[in-house]
């Protein structure tokens, strides 16, 4: 239930950070001003005793997040990929959250599998290991299928995880509504909508059937991608709380020493992670929405293996074109075109000055070019972007939240492999390829053909539409009749024209 009782949960969050020592570490890593640090400590100290103690063997921030619950752990997983924001030391500590959390008991896992699949584990698998990885939502066991002898990974949801997530998300909703009330200027960022989006993503991750479907579709889309593998699901051994996939053998992408020892080129791997993500987002409109190091391995032959498909992102064709044009404009340093795309897509209110917006975008983009990537402070860059978007009244685009978040995570993963990587140089060939195929005369003809085919399905209904227009002309008052009739006839004329064009294009193409 969302209500004031969530104040306790938010107080407990701050108290836990203070009790575990995480508050000071986070403020130091974020280079918070001295006054903010003093205020945070002053407000947190009286409630320190209310915080959760956590595991004292863990570093402070990791200890606090694991004590607070799965939603906080998800947040920590994102920060673990951003050493440029939180620093190398803290980022390394947070990698623990990706796949090294304490597992739940074997008996609970076997009971969940038997309940979901209708047979005991011993009847399905000839071998079933102790947990090999454990994250915020589920843990993974290595097994061998009795019927086929295939090596598989069996993913099992944590008991009670859905209830725990709902409890955390309720507190997030309360915080978002409180922020909107206390700071009205924040409403343009739509914090409640952001939490609603996060809730939808997480709730989808708690149904393994949806993850199996996403894995299957993602594998089909990427089967021709060089240097990339996606394990496929075994449907008969999967259900709502259990997912069985082909086993993926490889070195964790977070283990740089092991990658070096195996002779893998980390610079090439970093570039491939970025280019694959962009290709999946732009080409397919379906991308892996949780591409941190804990969900990526490197096979013996150098292929990148992706797994854990609980969070997948989708963007429609129009949004992909907008996104590509914005990226392409930044790559070409054509800030006027980037500004125009924002206005055309409705991202910026039409009453704002487009030239001023283009100048502001130039101030954001220019410092990136010609500067070594390791010297770019992403935290400061994002802070400046926030100022620009606030000035021009841009609202948070909830349909792009996951794309933007994943872009940040993927860049962090790539930078952990090659700290000198330049995202713009890697993005250029992918974006240019997409632009060539989707913006131009051939793309226009393809879109027109598709539109015509859709309209052609309504061909049998055209006589009825004409009849309705004539009936309306006879019934409505003269001024209304004339206006509405002209509009309907214009619509019908356009529909007939496109219908005829569709038939012609169908013959030609």
**Domain end call among 411, 439, 467:** 439
Q: Are residues 204 and 267 in the same domain?
A: no
Q: Are residues 41 and 152 in the same domain?
A: no
Better-predicted residue by pLDDT, 408 or 36 = 408
Do the beta carbons of residue 159 and residue 112 sit within 8 Å?
Answer: yes
Instruction: Decide if 342 is inside a domain.
Output: yes
Distance of alpha carbon 239 from alpha carbon 212, whole angstroms: 9
> Could you read off the pLDDT of 250-279 as tens digits, one per residue?
998 988 999 999 999 999 999 999 899 989
Q: Are residues 278 and 422 in the same domain?
A: yes
Any residues with CB less than 8 A from the CB of 86 and at least 6 apart, and which?
A: 26, 29, 30, 79, 94
Distance of alpha carbon 212 from alpha carbon 232, whole angstroms: 8
Helix (H, G, I), strand (E, B) or coil at 223: coil
Q: How many other C-beta atoms can be found within 10 angstroms of the C-beta atom of residue 340?
A: 16
Better-predicted residue by pLDDT, 496 or 73 = 73
**Section 333-352 average pLDDT:** 85
Domain that holds residue 375: 251-439
Active site residues: 290
Q: Are residues 242 and 294 in the same domain?
A: no
Distance of alpha carbon 307 from alpha carbon 152, whole angstroms: 12
Instruction: Decide if 424 is inside a domain.
Output: yes
Q: How many other C-beta atoms can be found within 10 angstroms of the C-beta atom of residue 314?
A: 15
Burial class of 218 by CB neighbour count within 10 A (0 to 12, 13 to 18, 19+): buried
Instruction: Decide if 1 is inside a domain.
Output: no
> Could you read off the pLDDT of 434-452 as tens digits, one per residue?
877 776 666 666 666 666 6
**DSSP structure class, residue 395:** P
**Domain end call among 395, 422, 439:** 439
| The pLDDT of residue 131 is above 80 | yes
Instruction: Decide if 460 is inside a domain.
Output: yes
Q: Are residues 206 and 257 in the same domain?
A: no
Q: Are residues 77 and 221 in the same domain?
A: no
Better-predicted residue by pLDDT, 112 or 500 = 112
Better-predicted residue by pLDDT, 336 or 180 = 336
pLDDT of residue 40: 66
pLDDT of residue 384: 60
Confidence of residue 416 (pLDDT cuts 50, 70, 90): confident
Q: Are residues 39 and 67 in the same domain?
A: yes
Most confident listed range (14-18, 232-236, 392-396): 232-236
> What are phi and psi for residue 228, nearest 5 degrees?
-145, 135
Q: Are residues 416 and 281 in the same domain?
A: yes
**Domain end call among 419, 439, 459:** 439
> Could you read off the pLDDT of 347-404 as tens digits, one per residue?
788 888 899 888 888 887 777 666 655 555 444 555 566 566 667 776 656 556 667 7
Instruction: Decide if 127 is inside a domain.
Output: yes
Q: For the stretch 279-293, what's the b/e string if a residue is b when 16 or more beta carbons lie within 10 angstroms of its beta carbon?
A: bbbbbbebbbbbbbb
Helix (H, G, I), strand (E, B) or coil at 352: coil
Distance of alpha carbon 223 from alpha carbon 155, whole angstroms: 23
C-alpha pair distances (Å), 495 with each of 442, 473, 491, 509: 22, 20, 6, 20
Instruction: Decide if 373 is inside a domain.
Output: yes
Do the beta carbons of residue 145 and residue 237 sit within 8 Å?
Answer: yes
Distance of alpha carbon 208 from alpha carbon 83, whole angstroms: 31
pLDDT of residue 450: 66
Q: How many domains does the chain have?
A: 4
Q: Are residues 282 and 212 in the same domain?
A: no
Confidence of residue 56 (pLDDT cuts 50, 70, 90): confident
Instruction: Decide if 260 is inside a domain.
Output: yes
Q: Are residues 426 and 468 in the same domain?
A: no
- β-strand partners of 151: 144
Q: Are residues 259 and 387 in the same domain?
A: yes
Do the beta carbons of residue 416 and residue 81 sit within 8 Å?
Answer: yes
Q: How many other C-beta atoms can be found within 10 angstroms of the C-beta atom of residue 91?
A: 20
Q: How many other C-beta atoms can be found within 10 angstroms of the C-beta atom of residue 319?
A: 17
Confidence of residue 213 (pLDDT cuts 50, 70, 90): very high
Q: Are residues 213 and 67 in the same domain?
A: no
Most confident listed range (120-124, 189-193, 198-202, 459-463): 120-124
| The pLDDT of residue 41 is above 70 | no
Q: How many other C-beta atoms can be found within 10 angstroms of the C-beta atom of residue 224?
A: 6
pTM of the predicted model as reported, rounded to 2 decimal places: 0.68
């Amino acid at each position: 239930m969302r209500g004031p009782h969530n104040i306790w949960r938010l107080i407990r969050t701050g108290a836990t950070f203070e009790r575990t020592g995480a508050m000071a570490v986070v403020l130091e890593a974020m280079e918070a001003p001295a006054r903010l640090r003093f205020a945070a400590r002053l407000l947190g100290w009286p409630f320190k005793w209310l915080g959760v103690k956590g595991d004292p063997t863990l570093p402070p921030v990791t200890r606090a997040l694991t004590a607070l619950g799965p939603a906080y752990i998800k947040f920590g997983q994102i920060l673990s990929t951003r050493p440029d924001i939180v620093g190398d030391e803290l980022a390394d500590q947070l990698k623990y959250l990706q796949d090294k959390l304490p597992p739940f008991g074997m008996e609970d896992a076997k009971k969940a599998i038997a309940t979901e699949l209708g047979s005991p584990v011993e009847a399905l698998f000839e071998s079933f290991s102790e947990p090999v990885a454990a994250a915020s939502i589920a843990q993974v066991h290595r097994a061998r299928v009795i019927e086929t002898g295939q090596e598989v990974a069996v993913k099992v949801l944590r008991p009670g995880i859905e209830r725990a997530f709902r409890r955390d998300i309720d507190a997030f909703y309360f915080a978002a509504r409180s922020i909107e009330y206390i700071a009205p200027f924040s409403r343009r960022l739509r914090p409640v909508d952001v939490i609603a989006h996060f809730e939808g993503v997480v709730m989808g991750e708690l149904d393994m059937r949806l993850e199996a479907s996403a894995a299957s579709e993602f594998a089909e889309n990427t089967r021709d991608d060089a240097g990339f593998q996606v394990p496929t699901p075994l449907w008969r051994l999967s259900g709502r709380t259990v997912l069985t996939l082909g086993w993926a053998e490889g070195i964790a992408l977070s283990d740089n020493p092991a990658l070096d020892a195996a002779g893998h080129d980390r610079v090439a791997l970093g570039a491939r992670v970025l280019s694959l993500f962009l290709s999946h987002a732009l080409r397919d409109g379906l991308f892996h929405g949780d591409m941190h190091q804990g969900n990526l391995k490197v096979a013996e032959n150098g292929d990148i293996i992706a797994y854990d498909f609980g969070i997948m992102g989708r963007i429609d064709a129009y949004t992909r074109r907008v996104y590509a044009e914005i990226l392409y404009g930044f790559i070409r340093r054509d800030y006027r075109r980037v500004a125009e795309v924002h206005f055309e897509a409705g991202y910026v209110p039409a009453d704002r000055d487009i030239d001023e917006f283009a100048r502001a975008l130039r101030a954001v983009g220019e410092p990136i070019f010609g500067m070594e990537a390791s010297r770019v402070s992403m935290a400061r860059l994002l802070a400046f972007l926030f100022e620009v978007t606030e000035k021009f009244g841009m609202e948070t685009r909830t349909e792009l939240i996951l794309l933007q978040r994943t872009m940040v995570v993927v860049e962090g993963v790539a930078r952990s492999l090659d700290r000198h990587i330049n995202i713009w140089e890697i993005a250029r060939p992918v974006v240019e390829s997409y632009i060539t195929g989707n913006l131009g005369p051939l793309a226009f003809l393809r879109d027109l053909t598709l539109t015509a085919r859709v309209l052609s399905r309504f061909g049998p209904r055209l006589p009825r539409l004409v009849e309705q227009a004539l009936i309306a002309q006879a019934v409505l008052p003269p001024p209304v009749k004339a206006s509405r009739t002209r509009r309907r006839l214009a619509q019908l004329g356009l529909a007939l024209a496109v219908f005829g064009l569709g038939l012609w294009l169908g013959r030609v193409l």
